[in-house]
Amino acid sequence: MWWLSKFADSIKRININIGYLCGMRFDIISAVPGLLEGLLGYSIPKRGCDKGLAEIHLHNLHDYGLGKYKQIDDTPFGGGAGMVLMPEPLSIVIEKLKSERQYDQIIYLTPDGIPLKQSLANQLSLGENLMLICGHYKGIDHRVRDLYVTMEISLGDFVLSGGEIAAAAVVDSVIRLLPGVLGDEESALSDSFQDDLLAPPLYTRPEVFQGIRVPDVLTTGNHPKIAQWKHEQALERTMRLRPDLLGDEEI
């Protein structure tokens, strides 16, 4: 078994080989897959792969480029600034991957996709195989979206240089939900947004820091009262910071 190596001679295809172990598989197509190594090579994603609960495979789009110089982009029809990822290289790698397995979703990361929310991460975590396509430059030829993409996801109303950061966010948000990845099985369930509320304030040692004491209830050991306090705090913070999450519910 080996992990994403930042010392790889070429970032052609970086696999977590787990052999007989079965885990959720992520295939990420990128023009600059090296950007994903640091983002997915540590912490929870690495833990999930080390446990055999997930596989992350990076596919360098340049490996499927056209001609002597492995071209993957060209100028847009109709004029305009920037370059567009060509359909042929994307089609070649997508068709290759589809011939090897079925995918629950083929996801394109784009500003005009649906917002990435906890409920969507929960939904995606129930699948087995996800393919993620990272745009670059101005984006990808729209025919690829028409022919192959089944879901489009956005991190928000802003533009990034490519889809790699968004892809890493999707993968991280999903892997941490897979049973057995986190040490505490309840940890993911207590995250912000799982119940449409922000998380309550968190405290650790020391009990007093620069004159500020941890709320007394948290040191009582009275778990029902602690749970009640956490819920009240979560509700108060949500009403104050993100009232949009509460919708029309009665408080």
pLDDT digits (tens, 9 = 90+) for 109-131: 999 999 999 999 999 999 999 99
Residue 5's pLDDT is 36
Using alpha carbons, select from 25, 21, 173 the residue that is nearest to residue 98: 25
Residue 37 has pLDDT above 60, yes or no: yes
Residue 183's pLDDT is 76
Q: Please report which helix (H) or strand (E) contains residue 122, including its range.
A: helix 118-124
3-class state of residue 63 by DSSP: helix
Q: What is the pLDDT of residues 145-170, one digit of tens each?
A: 999 999 999 999 998 999 999 999 99
Using alpha carbons, select from 57, 71, 58, 39 the residue that is nearest to residue 137: 71
Residue 192 has pLDDT above 60, yes or no: no
Which whole number is the average pLDDT over 217-242? 95
Which whole number is the average pLDDT over 174-180? 95
pLDDT > 90: percent of the chain: 78
Full set of structural domains in the chain with CATH: 13-175 (3.40.1280.10), 192-246 (1.10.1270.20)
3-state DSSP of 132-165: EEECECCCECHHHHHHCCCEEEECCCCCCCECHH
Residue 195's pLDDT is 75
Which whole number is the average pLDDT over 21-37? 91
Which whole number is the average pLDDT over 215-225? 96
Name the pTM for this structure. 0.83
CA dihedral 85, 89, 91, 94 (to 10 degrees): -100
**From the DSSP assignment, how many helices (H) and strands (E) are in the chain?**
7, 10
